[in-house]
């Protein structure tokens, strides 16, 4: 059962999301919040598997709430909810460590799929959106730059980092490298830990800065199977 916290200042939105998730099966809404401060309290109390976080809420907004939650629990899986895909706060939230984002007028099936993917740590950005996110994040001070790949990454970890830079999911990386998804998850975790990164988006940005992917986020060298 996937345990979900919904944070949105509109009661109607919260009710709609709750009904959608519960109807999908395999999900339980364990808490709701109408502002960021309450979202932080609920997150600390319930420790949900996935947090759906509206960015624009009164008193404490979703961005600040996400920062507080991730500071207390870096493993928290936060999916940003926004009305506009170009909302500048989206990029700040992703750089802070949010897993991905959804636009509120997306298809209901996409939200259900997003929660399921978030629960297992999968990224939640379409390739075109990922490109915009990375382009903005490349200029962010909190994503470090390196001219060459660090020596402490293994060859396989470099392969995985390269494919992360191309926006591939764990399943797609596994298929490309002809290994199991569990193996990929292990390598992704090692890359994150060694580079001190919080999420796949930051890993993708670092892959770009290292020259592992080109301006179109395609691998510069093909990873060996």
Specify burial of residue 29 (Cβ count, 10 A radius: 0-12, 13-18, 19+): buried
Distance CA 142, CA 16 (A): 36
Q: Where are the domains of the chain?
A: 2-124, 140-225
Distance CA 179, CA 187 (A): 11
Distance CA 127, CA 109 (A): 18
Distance CA 63, CA 149 (A): 31
Distance CA 49, CA 114 (A): 12
Specify burial of residue 64 (Cβ count, 10 A radius: 0-12, 13-18, 19+): buried
Q: Which of 119, 199, 120, 210 is nearest to 167 (CA)?
A: 199
Residue located via tokens 């939640």: 124
| Tokens linked to 31 | 């808490």
Distance CA 94, CA 88 (A): 10
Strand partners, 5: 31, 51
For 2-124, which CATH class?
alpha beta
Which fold does the domain 140-225 belong to in CATH? Arc Repressor Mutant, subunit A (1.10.10)
Q: What is this structure's pTM?
A: 0.69
How confident is the prediction along the chain (225 residues), in pLDDT tens digits per residue?
A: 999 999 999 999 999 999 999 999 999 999 999 999 999 999 999 999 999 999 889 889 999 999 999 999 988 999 988 876 666 677 777 777 888 888 887 788 888 988 998 898 776 665 555 666 666 666 554 444 444 455 588 989 999 999 988 878 788 889 999 999 899 989 998 998 888 887 777 787 788 878 888 766 678 876 666
Distance CA 197, CA 181 (A): 20
């Amino acid at each position: 059962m996937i345990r979900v916290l919904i944070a949105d200042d509109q009661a109607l939105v919260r009710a709609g999301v709750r009904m959608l998730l519960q109807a999908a099966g395999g999900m339980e809404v364990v808490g709701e919040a109408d502002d960021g401060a309450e979202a932080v309290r609920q997150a600390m109390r319930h420790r949900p598997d996935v947090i759906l976080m509206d960015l624009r809420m009164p008193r404490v907004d979703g961005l600040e709430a996400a920062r507080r939650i991730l500071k207390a629990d870096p493993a928290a899986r936060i999916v940003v909810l926004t009305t506009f895909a170009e909302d500048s706060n989206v990029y700040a939230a992703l750089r802070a460590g949010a897993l991905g984002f959804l636009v509120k007028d997306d298809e209901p099936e996409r939200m259900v799929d997003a929660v399921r993917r978030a629960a297992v740590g999968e990224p939640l950005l379409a390739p075109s959106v990922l490109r915009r996110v990375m382009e903005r994040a490349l200029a962010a001070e909190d994503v470090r730059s390196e001219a060459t790949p660090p020596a402490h990454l293994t060859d396989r970890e470099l392969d995985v980092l390269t494919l992360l830079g191309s926006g591939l999911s764990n399943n797609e990386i596994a298929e490309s490298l002809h290994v199991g998804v569990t193996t990929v998850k292990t390598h992704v975790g090692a890359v994150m830990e060694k580079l001190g990164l919080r999420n796949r988006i930051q890993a993708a940005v670092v892959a770009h800065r290292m020259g592992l992917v080109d301006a179109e986020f395609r691998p510069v060298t093909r990873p060996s199977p």
